[in-house]
Amino acid sequence: MTERNAGALAALCARLEGLPLAIELAAAWAQTLTPAQMMAELKEGFPLLVSRNCDATARHRSLHAAIEWSCRLLDPSLRAFFARLAVFRGGWETAAAQIVCREPDALSRIAALRDRSLVVADPCGERMRYRMLEPVRDYARELLTESERIELARRHAAYYLSLAEEAEKHLRAAAQKFWAERLRADHANLQAALEESETREEGLHMAAALSYYWQLRGDLREGSEWLDRALSNNPEAPPDLRARALFGAAALAYLHGDEARGEALCAESLRLCDLLSDPQAFLEAIRPLTSPNLLLPHSSLHKREPRLLEALGRGEPDRRVQALRLGCEGRRAQWCGEYAEAAALYERSLTIYRELGDRQGIATLLHLRGSMAEYQGDDAATRRYWEESLETFRELDDQIGIGDTVGALGYAAYRRGDFCTALRAEGLEALAELRARQQQDAEAVGLYAEADDLREATGAPMPLCERPCYRRELASLRARLGPERFAAVWEGAHRMAREKFPS
């Protein structure tokens, strides 16, 4: 094992699910293939997991034979159920197996397969999830005919569409945390369902329903790609559905910092909304654009609120739309220095979010209250609001909210001279700025380069409003280090970062 092959070795062991027999069979090729080549051969279906030891028993000469030996002991109906379970990616719950596999007695059959080590049970909070090890799942899929695979994939996609639509109803309410965790556990199944249905309207429904989940997770690139594909594949979908998906894509673009794209998508959504005569249909269409995270200072929407307010002002708004509008108006008042008015608007918005049980909305408004307290020079109130906001974002595992609030706390610590806290709290770009202030120029350049690669790998471009300051900072560092030294440090950091953040 070396630094060069350690990552590929870890990936190979993970692909083999840590199965001792599988690892032993793969290891026999160590003098012939590198770990990276073994991974490639597995993807190509090469019989890598076959022993060349003629003295081994038949069922130990290949992983396939070992699994086949276990499956031959199953009765035909249990073997058929075992094969159907291969449709799930990353695991499943009992209810999913009952519906997708059309097996009312799924629980007892899963227990029978678990007793034979063909299924693994994993506690997930207060619920039990089940999964197959990947080599076992590969074998189970081989037992299905092509027509069975197609039918199972359709039923699987329909089940996870219904799950996504049900979750969407709760992700902005009191059960927000439970449903976010539920979708997170089924993330791989959701991806599989999107792959199967993206060319049909069901895929567009599913992508639109998941737009808020992607915002919550911070999966901005993934969400944008799925929405783009589904929209491209369904140009003739009903206007209300396309408008809803476009608003979802617009929200992700704004959170990405891509203002121009957000504006264009929002404008197209509003054009389609002009075709809707039903006010309720409009409220359903605009739902993805009502994410409280769009109020965070990091969002590039800070200069685009008139467009959002135009959209939110149509029809008779529901409570969530009212809360977002109040938050927008509070931010505008805060920028104008009208702090008393801003505080009143924020409190009204916060009250609605508390009534709705929307934890993300509560956390966002607490963050905004903290930013206003900071403008007013009240350090104690600033920290109190931001620490409560951070705790709530962490409960939800809201990566965007966590990042913004940790960054805000770090900047506040830096301004009051608490550099130890600032170093613990800040992100790469803020750390780079801090190092530059401390005259540690080479380290600052390295951190900026690493942040540049991370933004590229995650599809999160720098917001336009931050770019002038960023360019000035880099120009200052280049002048102090000299062009050659700057370029050498920048390229060296890029090479190291690309190993950390492969695209």
- Mean pLDDT to the nearest integer, 139-155: 94
Is residue 302 scored above 60 in pLDDT?
no
Count Cα atoms within 13 angstroms, Cβ side, for 93: 14
Tokens of 310: 């135009």
- Any idea where the domains of the chain sit in the sequence? 6-52, 74-143, 145-285, 428-500
* DSSP annotation of 460: -
Helix (H), strand (E) at residue 128: strand 127-131
Give yes or no for a contact between 160 and 95, defined as CB atoms under 8 angstroms apart: no
Helix 483-500 and helix 467-481, axial crossing angle in degrees, nearest 10:
120
Is residue 300 scored above 60 in pLDDT?
no
pLDDT for the residue numbered 427: 61
Q: Does domain 74-143 have CATH number 3.40.50.300?
A: no
pLDDT bin (cut points 50, 70, 90) of residue 46 is very low
What would the pLDDT profile of 402-415 be if each residue is shown by its tens digit? 878 887 887 777 66
Give pTM, 2 decimals.
Answer: 0.73
Q: What is the CATH number of domain 145-285?
A: 1.25.40.10
Closest CA to 356 of 328, 330, 391, 320: 320
pLDDT for the residue numbered 422: 57
Is residue 12 scored above 60 in pLDDT?
yes
**Whole-number CA gyration radius for the chain:** 26
What would the pLDDT profile of 77-120 be if each residue is shown by its tens digit? 999 999 999 999 999 999 999 999 999 999 999 999 998 888 99
Q: Using DSSP, state whether 398 is helix, strand or coil.
A: coil
pLDDT for the residue numbered 328: 84
Count Cα atoms within 13 angstroms, Cβ side, for 94: 14
Measure the CA–CA gap between 76 and 74, rounded to whole angstroms. 6
Q: Measure Cα distances from 197 to 98, 205, 285, 391, 405 in Å.
A: 21, 10, 21, 37, 37
Is residue 297 scored above 60 in pLDDT?
yes
Tokens of 320: 């969530």
Which range has the worst mean pLDDT, 50-64, 349-363, 379-393? 50-64
